[in-house]
Chain A
Amino acid sequence: MLEIENLHASVDGKEILRGLTLNVRAGEVHAIMGPNGSGKSTLSYVLAGRDGYEVTSGSVRYFGKDLLALPAEERAREGIFLAFQYPVEIPGVANANFLKSAVNAVRRHQGVSELDAMDFLKLARARMKLLQMDEKFLSRAVNVGFSGGEKKRNEMFQMAMLEPKLALLDETDSGLDIDALRIVADGVNALRSPDRGIIMITHYQRLLDYIVPDFVHVLAQGRIAKSGGKELALELEKAGYAGIGEAA
């Protein structure tokens, strides 16, 4: 579903991604690991379509189409979901209004009838229950005053509502205690299906105990320096990232 080919991308004129190639097929879970500053979040922003992330060469195809030609909202409507490493606070916009607008924008795009307030609430309540989230989060302003863990859980809630085809989780595990981690992992595992792809960006091997990936990649200096199965994560845990960038 996703073919990234020799991708180069710059931010503020500084080249961050330097020839990244990665293929994700439907049903697969890929973990991307790598040291701080190696370009993991940059990759997720480039895929989600954030302004200011300039692709200088290479290509990204999503279900055969040129992903980079689409504005951010179109990508989301086509089923790409980015769980932000740092979810944004939006004072004055209630979580429920925000999410209802989002869900209905996606539904309009898919030619499905929009959810009315009642149906939306029903669905939202069911999904919140799975994530053990209090309903009061619906009426609160988006992420405002949420703890780190609550923000991450809110991202998972949005993902569960939007049911993406390709989920990009950018360090969704960081800042979570073990119980929260388990709940989030259950949420992600519930989404696993033969027609979905998942890319998990993480710093720690521990998330991979709960969401077992099909592939593990190491990102170093803007490119995939090493790929392997889930055992690669264990190796990295022992040996660290030292040497991997240079070896590639």
Chain B
Amino acid sequence: MSVTALSAEPLLRRLEAAQAPAVDTPARTRARDLFLRYGLPHRKVEAWKYTDLKPVSEMPFVAAVSAPVTAADLAPWRLADAHVLVFIDGGFRADLSEFNATDGVSLGRAAPGASVSGEAAADAVAALNGALATDGALVRVPDGVSLDRPVQFLFVATGGAVRSAQVRNRIDLGRGASASVVETYAGLGTEPCWTNVVTDAVVAPGAALDHAILQSQGSAAWHTGRISARVDTAARFSNCTVSLGAATARQDILVQLAGVGAECRLTGANLGRGQQHLDYFSRIDHAAREGRSVQDIRVAVDDRAMSIFQGCIAVAPDAQKTDAKQLCRNLLLGERSIAFAKPELEILADDVKCTHGATTGDLGVEELFYLRARGIGADEARQMLVAAFVADVLEGLEAPVRGHLESAVSQWLRGAP
């Protein structure tokens, strides 16, 4: 048993003491055992090499009533013309939510105690979530139904105390169904806090799920998120993750292209400044024939911020005719900013097309001069060029979701956290 595993139990106890009791289920017990076996991943765990969660294990979590939140507090984050499920400090709030499900669609709270995917040390954070989560959002769309409006899961962390929010979401699309879901994580407080979320998505044959994440937590927050999506025959999954908040944020995107001709498109942006640490980890498993995946990640880091991109593409022996493209472009805005890009290909089939690339650079001096020569100030010129650099990954998103992410990006460009 490692040193970290020894500290697993006290952390689990403290987190349990600071939240509503979770009813034991077999899945929860398994998750608990898995977490106690490994503890929070240390940096010798390859997938967590760049992100150290030790500060989380030392946070003085308390059970505290949430600060009062009004609809006005949520207005800046709320998606207009959408079904909105609101969670404050991880707890569902019907009074602040607004949704109506028709056509046999289920929207609302997810049943707790879901099972964990994965058995390795790298899965321990998700396992801890499995042991503790008592709340989360649910979207279930029956066969052949297209959801009329996007669904927003709006998670807001309030201030006033050091809290953890363990959240478990579930998205289920039936055969030929389609839906657009955006998860927004925002913070009102300045205290440290930890949000640990797992979203399980199942995309049945012929279904299409457009999924987006906006991570815009408060500047002292720690955020760990994981989405696991199983994409079946001729189904389509897209994810756009924009991560620009929190002190430290780690997002795992795990996609299994399980059926023939399944597709996924992963885009996103890590935007960091100050001392922010933003870690994007993805794994696309091409498990069946004729799968297609496209990944395009943009990174812009300023000051001493650090971004990490780890993107693994695994092609199983019988996943012939796989077509996978991966690109990560990094923009270093500060002399001390750092961006790691670590692509990883595990290709066990012979008839496949896989390309990957990573670039790192700074803003073009030619472009900057051209803008300035027209009277545009240096700061505004830089903002325009960074916005243009990021804009590509938001292209193709549905208008309301795109607007939501765009306005967060332009606020970030103007200097807001």
Q: Which residue of B lies closest to A142 (CB)?
A: B370
- Contact present for A92 and B387 (CB under 8 Å): yes
Instruction: List chain A residues, Cβ under 8 A from B369.
Output: 50-51, 72, 88
- 9-residue interface stretch from B221-229, B264-272, B278-286, B374-382: B374-382
Quick one: which of A75, A88, A91, A109 contacts B388, CB cutoff 8 A? Answer: A91
Q: Which residue of A lies closest to B386 (CB)?
A: A92
- Contact present for A162 and B375 (CB under 8 Å): yes
Binary contact readout B13-51 vs A (1 if CB under 8 angstroms, 0 otherwise): 000000000000000000000000000000000000000
Q: Which residue of B lies closest to A45 (CB)?
A: B369
Given A73-B378, A98-B384, the answer on whether A90 and B367 have CB atoms closer than 8 Å is: yes
Quick one: which of B367, B380, B392 contacts A105, CB cutoff 8 A? Answer: B380
- A232–B298 Cα gap in the complex (Å)? 55
Answer yes or no: A16 CB below 8 A from chain B CBs. Answer: no
* Chain A: interface residue total (CB-CB under 8 A): 31
Report which residue of B367, B370, B380 has the largest number of chain A beta carbons within 10 angstroms of its beta carbon: B370
- A98–B389 Cα gap in the complex (Å)? 15
Least CB distance from A78 to B in Å reads: 9
- Contact present for A73 and B367 (CB under 8 Å): no
- Contact present for A109 and B384 (CB under 8 Å): no
- Contact present for A49 and B373 (CB under 8 Å): yes
Given A71-B378, A105-B380, the answer on whether A90 and B372 have CB atoms closer than 8 Å is: no
- CB under 8 Å from chain A, chain B span 353-411: 365-367, 369-378, 380-381, 384-385, 387-389, 391-392
Instruction: List chain B residues, Cβ under 8 A from A49.
Output: 372-373
- Contact present for A90 and B388 (CB under 8 Å): yes
- CB under 8 Å from chain B, chain A span 70-122: 71-73, 75-77, 82, 84, 87-88, 90-93, 97-99, 101-102, 105-106, 109
Instruction: List chain B residues, Cβ under 8 A from A105.
Output: 374-377, 380
- Contact present for B375 and A158 (CB under 8 Å): no
Quick one: which of A48, A82, A101 contacts B384, CB cutoff 8 A? Answer: A101
Instruction: List chain A residues, Cβ under 8 A from B367.
Output: 88, 90
Instruction: List chain B residues, Cβ under 8 A from A73.
Output: 372-373, 375-378, 381
- Contact present for B366 and A93 (CB under 8 Å): no
Binary contact readout A57-81 vs B (1 if CB under 8 angstroms, 0 otherwise): 0000000000000011101110000
Instruction: List chain A residues, Cβ under 8 A from B370.
Output: 84, 87-88, 90, 142
Given A51-B369, A72-B369, A105-B380, the answer on whether A158 and B374 have CB atoms closer than 8 Å is: yes
Report which residue of B366, B387, B389 has the largest number of chain A beta carbons within 10 angstroms of its beta carbon: B366
* Chain B: interface residue total (CB-CB under 8 A): 22
- Contact present for A92 and B389 (CB under 8 Å): yes
- A72–B372 Cα gap in the complex (Å)? 6
Instruction: List chain A residues, Cβ under 8 A from B375.
Output: 73, 76-77, 102, 105-106, 109, 162
Given A51-B365, A90-B367, the answer on whether A76 and B392 have CB atoms closer than 8 Å is: no
Least CB distance from B359 to A in Å reads: 14
Given A51-B369, A88-B366, the answer on whether A162 and B388 have CB atoms closer than 8 Å is: no
- Contact present for B373 and A82 (CB under 8 Å): yes
Instruction: List chain B residues, Cβ under 8 A from A48.
Output: 373
- Contact present for A101 and B388 (CB under 8 Å): no
Instruction: List chain B residues, Cβ under 8 A from A91.
Output: 388
Q: Which residue of B lies closest to A168 (CB)?
A: B373
Least CB distance from A21 to B in Å reads: 24
Least CB distance from A70 to B in Å reads: 11
- Contact present for B374 and A162 (CB under 8 Å): yes
- A78–B381 Cα gap in the complex (Å)? 18
Least CB distance from B60 to A in Å reads: 45
Report which residue of A48, A72, A105, A158 has the largest number of chain B beta carbons within 10 angstroms of its beta carbon: A72
Instruction: List chain B residues, Cβ under 8 A from A82.
Output: 373
A-B contact pairs, 30 of them (CB 8 A): A50-B369, A51-B365, A51-B369, A52-B365, A71-B372, A71-B378, A72-B369, A72-B372, A72-B373, A73-B372, A73-B373, A73-B378, A73-B381, A75-B373, A76-B373, A76-B374, A76-B375, A82-B373, A84-B370, A88-B367, A92-B387, A92-B389, A97-B384, A98-B384, A102-B375, A102-B376, A105-B374, A105-B375, A105-B376, A158-B374
- Please report B residues at the A interface, Cβ cutoff 8 Å: 365-367, 369-378, 380-381, 384-385, 387-389, 391-392
Beyond A48-B373, A102-B374: 5 further Cβ-contacts under 8 Å? A51-B369, A72-B369, A73-B375, A102-B371, A102-B376
9 A-B pairs closest in CB distance: A92-B388, A76-B375, A102-B374, A88-B370, A72-B372, A105-B375, A73-B372, A106-B375, A77-B375
